[in-house]
Amino acid sequence: MKIISEAKSHGGCQGVYSTTSEACGGDMTFAVFRPIVAKEQLCPVVWFLSGLTCTHANVMDKGEYRRMAAELGLIIVCPDTSPRGDHVPDEPDNWQFGKGAGFYLDATQAPWSRHYRMETHILDELPALVAAHFAADMGRQGVMGHSMGGHGALTFALKHPDRFKSCSAFAPIVQPSTADWSRPALEKYLGADESGWRRHDATLLIEDGARFPEFLVDQGTADGFLDAGLRPWLLEEACQKADIGLTLRMQEGYDHSYHFISTFMDDHLAWHAERLG
């Protein structure tokens, strides 16, 4: 692990680091905020998964999480959204696919399968580093995300309820297998057989029997992607059928931006802290 930068913030430390990822075939960057209490005791961890076109830096610079994380004693880990580098295949004119759009899955189709293995990177590689270097209590982990990252958070929680004790999302893509901006990506990463897509779709995971105690989802009513890409009512229907707790808050007048995320970030961190003890 290489330290790119570290700076004092709210008594704790906001750091940016890089590691050589075997899963992604190159160096990967991630950010970690440690509250001051992490100098004295292990702290619970909340993973923040960012959305399309983002890196670790978007939420770090605009998410406004450090004050509340410091108050609650939470470690916040912000991975990147895809592999990076000139050696990584890409569609540079397509913002919904390739670099910045890894969709938190392990690709099975060439040429993407060599590098686009974000699920393994986030669930296997990064936790080992976080546990070793950042005073993290890995028995108390939560996961949250925005948009594409909301999709990742929901699916990770549903597939690993033994690992994640809390889950929330801002404007998640709840059914990427049918959404206009994620369906093409799933086909390229995973192939034409849609049965292989089901484990990367929150609503279909629930339909297939996956369970999680409860979710918190905030969605802006002025979000331009609401009707075609996000469709939180599909998650609501799936959770109702499966008797999964869902707090879905439709926030009047809010869009898809970090102005929306930063407004409700404190609520989400408090939700995680309560469930992580």
| HSE (side-chain half, CA atoms, 13 Å) at 276 | 30
Give the number of other Cβ atoms within 10 Å of residue 180's Cβ: 11
CA angle 205, 207, 208 (to 5 degrees): 65
Runs of H (alpha helix) within the chain? 56-62, 66-72, 118-120, 126-133, 148-159, 183-190, 202-207, 232-242, 258-276
Sequence-distant (≥ 6) Cβ neighbours of residue 74 within 8 angstroms: 35, 43, 44, 45, 46, 68, 269, 272, 273, 276
Specify the residue for token string 């004693």. 73
9 included as an active-site residue: no
Nearest to 125 by CA among 191, 47, 36: 47
Q: How far apart are CA 229 and CA 271, in angstroms?
A: 26
DSSP assignment of 167-182: EEEES--S-TTT-TTT
Give the number of other Cβ atoms within 10 Å of residue 5's Cβ: 9
Amino acid letter, 32: V
Q: How far apart are CA 215 and CA 210, in angstroms?
A: 13
The one catalytic residue among 147, 166, 177, 182: 147
The one catalytic residue among 151, 256, 268, 272: 256
223 included as an active-site residue: yes
115 included as an active-site residue: no
Asked if 169 and 153 count as a contact pair (C-beta separation under 8 A), the reply is yes
Q: Could you give the residue numbers annotated as active site?
A: 147, 223, 256
